[in-house]
Amino acid sequence: MNDDRAATGYDRRRSNWLIPRFKTRSSVATLVKPNPEPLRPPKWSFSVLNPKDTSSEVPGTVLLLSSSTHQPTPDPTSTSSPPEDSTPLTTLPPKTTPDGTIILSPQPDPSPNDPLNWPRWRRDAALFSLGIYCAVGGGMPPLLAAGFTDVAADYHVPVRRVALTTGLLMLGLGIGCVLAGPTAILYGKRPVYLTSIILFILASTWCALSPDFPSLLVARVVQGVAISPVEALPSATIAEMYFLHERSFRIGVYTLMLLGGKNLVPLVSAAVIERWGWRWVFW
């Protein structure tokens, strides 16, 4: 028995493991491993690395177009595809555009309250009203740029101190952006927009009636907090109202309105200041 243990490599000190101790060359077992695949440099397409484990869908993306059936092709190696053992929520085919060429993403809910089920004219009207508010809010930081000397003369302060009306508004804008996002997640974007509009009207009235320079500075901070949703929420609002293939144009419209307000509102405010005074720009 001891000879058998010696032949099979049994070791009393390591009884939990079988350690082979082959005495003859004929008893050596040779494991033949396949040759590893030669290393190849990764393929790049327009500076984007193509993942080798995904053939039809890149992780983190959504398939919109299909060559023949207009149906998404599941890829078990893709992180954006459901696992094979998952139970589908519905057996209905995915909704597509009227011509059937584009799969709608995200899929709209049956509820009529889902903005994705609204007619396009209603969604565009909501976007246009939001864009007007973004244009007005975006023009608030440089609103008094043409009237710095008038403000300094009215409050008897140096002109360089009047620049605080812009800097402190940007401070309030940054604080408001931190607050607007989580508040919109908890209570919805519509209450945040309505609250910001009301606060913006009150802050603008405060600026127009400010009796002294410190009061004007505090009013400008409040005004910055009020207009913060125009910087923090419209992109998420567009994502909730439009399908994936419709968003790029609407994002461009929003950007045009926001940046257009930053450039056009100072021109209008300069004409108002020249004719009626700097307080009238807040009315």
Q: What pLDDT is attached to residue 62? A: 58
| HSE of 82, CA atoms in CB hemisphere, 13 A | 7
Distance CA 243, CA 154 (A): 52
Distance CA 65, CA 81 (A): 15
At 150 the three-state DSSP class reads helix
Closest listed residue to residue 224, CA positions, set 147, 135, 140, 144: 140
**Residues with Cβ within 8 Å of residue 236, at least 6 apart in sequence:** 184, 189
Calculate the CA 65 to chain-centre distance. 23
- pLDDT-above-90 percentage for the chain: 21
pTM over 0.75: no
Distance CA 183, CA 232 (A): 11
Distance CA 97, CA 272 (A): 48
- Domain residue ranges of the chain, discontinuous segments joined by +: 115-282
- pLDDT-above-70 percentage for the chain: 68
Q: What is the 3-state secondary structure (H, E, C) of 27-92?
A: HCCCCCCCCCCCCCCCCEECCEECCCCCCCCCCCCCCCCCCCCCCCCCCCCCCCCCCCCCCCCCCC
Q: What pLDDT is attached to residue 83? A: 47
Residue 266's H or E segment, with its range, is helix 247-276
Domain 115-282 listed as CATH 1.20.1250.20? yes
Record the tokens describing residue 116, joined without a space.
């994705």
Q: What are the b/e assignments for 87-104, b being 16+ CB within 10 Å?
A: eeeeeeeeeeeeeeebbb
Q: What pLDDT is attached to residue 226? A: 92
Give the residue ranges of DSSP H helices in 95-163.
120-138, 148-155, 159-162
- Mark the ranges of the chain whose per-residue pLDDT is less than 70: 1-91
User: Per residue in 186-210, pLDDT tens?
Assistant: 888 889 999 999 999 999 999 999 8
Record the tokens describing residue 240, joined without a space.
């909730």
Across all residues in the chain, what is the average pLDDT?
76
What count of other Cβ atoms lies within 10 Å of the Cβ of residue 198?
11
Q: How far apart are the first and last CA of the chain?
A: 105
Burial of 260 (0-12, 13-18, 19+ CB in 10 A): middle
Q: What pLDDT is attached to residue 47? A: 54
Distance CA 6, CA 136 (A): 91
